[in-house]
A and B are shown apart, each in its own frame.
Chain A
Amino acid sequence: MLGITELFSSVLLEINTVVGNLGLTLILFTLALRAALLPLTVPSIKAQGKMRQIQPELSKLQKKFGKNKQKLQKKQFELYKKHNVNPLAGCVPQIIQLGILIVLFRALTTFLTPDNLGSTSRFLWLDLARPDSSFILPVLAGASQFILALMIAPGGEIRDTVPNKSKSKQVQQANRQEEGMAQMAAMMQKQSIYVLPIVTVFFSTQFPAGLALYWVVTTVFSIGQQYVLSGPGGITVYTQRARHWLGSKYFNAPR
């Protein structure tokens, strides 16, 4: 873990030595990292759309082979293969990426210290080694996070709520409990769309401005990538809701 942190830090230092501007170093580092990840990200975003398309077929397989797990898994994999769904979207790659996220955060916070950078930490109006007191970067980080959260929101809904059709009282009670839990989780998910950008703004004011710059660049990159590959996503739904709400509030109000 420490080795990877040092590797990221040394790459940042090398780029900074060549470029001679910390802001540009961070932007180049972010863009290079994202460009290197493109071969993985493009198929995964396309696969997300395909997964939505094949969801009815997956449900049919679940009903048909639900009791025979091995056969179900085999049929699922056949379906993924047929539709060319990205194999790198499972739980283990996510756990690995969460680990890399922590390492990246540590590398950036270690790199962005006044002792490490001296007087070279200036970029535009900012001292990238200290928190942004003008709040411009933290607000930009929060705003971009909000847009991205809205774009990918439709993929985060809670599934698997059990229809309460069972005749057994015990099963009915278990189902009710599960529905209650699913509703609580769904409520938290909806609120997280609004809470996460606020948390991002707060954290961006506490850490060096360079970290906020990194966050803005990487999130804007993700927004562009998401838009090009799968369109505006949930933004369309939220815009329609906002228009409807504004219309009913200001244009159809009772006189």
Chain B
Amino acid sequence: MSRLITLIITVYQGLFNVKTTLLVSVFGVSYHCRHQPSCSVYVRRQIEQNGTIVGLWRGCVRVFSCW
């Protein structure tokens, strides 16, 4: 399970430019990550350290608290 999520996160990171270009095309808003490490790297590390459920939960908390 954790390997599948790690793969999904890697694909998301690979498609980062696609997402950014689409959003800049349509809305013109540029993005930068305010966290270090970025949320995708953070979730992957959390999953490795604390397991899938806890890692995913912590990742969701971080993503949905980033305004």
Contacts and interface: CB of A to CB of B under 8 A. Distances in A.
Contacts of A97: 23, 26-27, 29
B41 A145 contact: no
Contacts of A159: 33, 36-38
Q: Which of B11, B21, B39 has the most CB of A within 10 A?
A: B21
Interface residues of B, number: 39
A215 B5 CA distance: 33
Contact of A37 (B29, B34, B37): B29
A34 B24 CA distance: 11
Interface string B7-40: 0011101111111111111111111111111110
Given A44-B31, A152-B30, A156-B20, A91 B25 contact: no
Interface in A137-172: 145, 148-149, 152-153, 155-156, 158-160
B28 A92 contact: no
A189 interface: yes
B14 A89 contact: no
Contacts of B53: none
A126 interface: no
Given A45-B30, A87-B67, A90-B66, A192 B14 contact: yes
B47 to A, nearest CB: 12
Interface string A55-97: 0001100100000000000001000100001011111111001
Contacts of B11: 185, 188
Contacts of B45: 178
A18 B48 CA distance: 59
B61 to A, nearest CB: 11
B24 A189 contact: no
B36 A62 contact: yes
A48 interface: yes
5 pairs of A and B residues whose beta carbons are closest in the complex: A188-B14, A185-B13, A90-B66, A41-B28, A51-B32
12 contacts: A45-B29, A52-B32, A62-B36, A76-B35, A91-B63, A101-B22, A101-B27, A149-B17, A184-B10, A185-B16, A192-B17, A225-B28
Given A45-B29, A97-B27, A188-B11, 18 more contacts: A40-B29, A41-B27, A41-B30, A76-B35, A91-B39, A92-B63, A98-B19, A101-B26, A145-B25, A148-B25, A149-B17, A152-B30, A155-B20, A155-B31, A155-B32, A189-B14, A192-B21, A230-B30
